[in-house]
Amino acid sequence: MAETQIIQEEQISTKDLFQKIINVFRLIGSEWKLLLIGIAVGTLLSILMDINNFKESQFYGEIQFNLESGNPNQGGMGGLAGFANAFGMGGMGGAQTNDLFSGGNFGLVISSKALYEKALMKEVMVGNKKTLFINYYKDSSDIKTNEWGGDLFHEPNKAAINFRFVPKSPEKFGKVENELLATIYEKLVKQTELKPLDKNGSIMILSATTNNEMLTKVWLETLLKSLEEFYKDVRTKKTLEVYNFQVERLNELQGKLNSTDRQLAITTFQNMNAVDPTAPMRQQQLNRNNTYISNQYYNQMATVENLRMLLIHQTPLFTLLQPVRLPLLRKDYTIGGSTKLGAFLGFFLCLVFIIVRKTYQELVS
């Protein structure tokens, strides 16, 4: 008896479920005009969003590289470490807590305006023609149609579009050049990204996305080259200054040594038939000066050679693990690609509205 009652309840529940489904379909049939309006509105909104977000085809490229700092702290340089300390290039025995390229500073350095200016003003080879990268970017990117292209209320910035940069230090830029450079920097820094390949590793990925395939490739290569040069300059700046000073000192000693060699050779030749009793004394004095300068010269040569080796150890090593090669990954934007999703959302929201309205009317009545 109990089993029969359970079966009847399940049959009643199934009957009610089917009845509710049938009622929903009837409701849809009675409100088909409103549903069509919802579908049309959803489709139109999706098209408008596609138009608003439309872009030219974008090309993504990346370079993988590893950077070894070349810091003597890490290399166990032995005698060269003490030699560097003797010239005031210390810090060789402990960690550098204020290192410009340590930790999170590295990402800030590669997106700094100073580094971008260095890269933008670098000459690049495009095809068979040399040009400043900043001019190549102006000519090849979509900055002419977006940032400087104007709109319904503004005229295109023809002065910016037609302006040509010439090789010059950014410190010597005028107002117009600084304004154009700032606009290009703000756009490029959004198109460029640096991230680690693995959070526990030292391999980095430098990537960029622009509307021009060759532009993406050239930009990544130029920026990485500028980073390498900038890093090398910072790491070796102090040692290079000392090295140049010591080379100048070596050249001075070489000049003095050549002079005493000539004087000694002349005096030795003249003393062969000399009757002057002071001649041997002058020759002995020249010998003594020549020996002293010779010792100074060879010691200075050793100093310069040690500094040269120190520069080699301090020079960072960039290892390119994955260069950027064509063709690059391409992303195309189309108008109408999301109309199916927009139509479905319009239909669904309209259906929810109809069901809620119908339920409310039944409760009220």
In a domain, 205, yes or no: yes
User: Cis before residue 327, ω within 30 degrees of 0?
Assistant: yes
Instruction: Give percent of the chain with pLDDT exceeding 90.
Output: 19
pLDDT greater at residue 351 or residue 69: 351
In a domain, 203, yes or no: yes
How many domains would you assign to the chain?
1
* Closest CA relative to residue 66, chosen from 227, 193, 216: 227
In a domain, 357, yes or no: no
Tell me if 227 sits within 8 A of 88, measured CB to CB.
no
pLDDT greater at residue 339 or residue 320: 320
Range from 240-249, 272-281, 301-310 carrying the lowest mean pLDDT? 272-281
> Which range marks the domain in which residue 208 is found?
58-91+100-331
In a domain, 33, yes or no: no
pLDDT greater at residue 223 or residue 12: 223
In a domain, 235, yes or no: yes
pLDDT greater at residue 10 or residue 35: 35
* Closest CA relative to residue 212, chosen from 139, 297, 269: 139
Work out the angle at residue 342's Cα, subtended by the Cα atoms of residues 340 and 346, and round it to the nearest 5 degrees.
115
Task: State pLDDT tens for residues 42-65.
Answer: 777 777 776 665 556 789 999 998
* Closest CA relative to residue 214, chosen from 110, 297, 158, 136: 136
pLDDT greater at residue 164 or residue 354: 164
Helix residue ranges per DSSP H, the chain: 2-30, 32-52, 72-75, 79-86, 105-110, 113-120, 133-140, 158-162, 175-191, 213-270, 279-314, 339-364
pLDDT at 78: 46
Range from 77-86, 107-116, 181-190 carrying the lowest mean pLDDT? 77-86
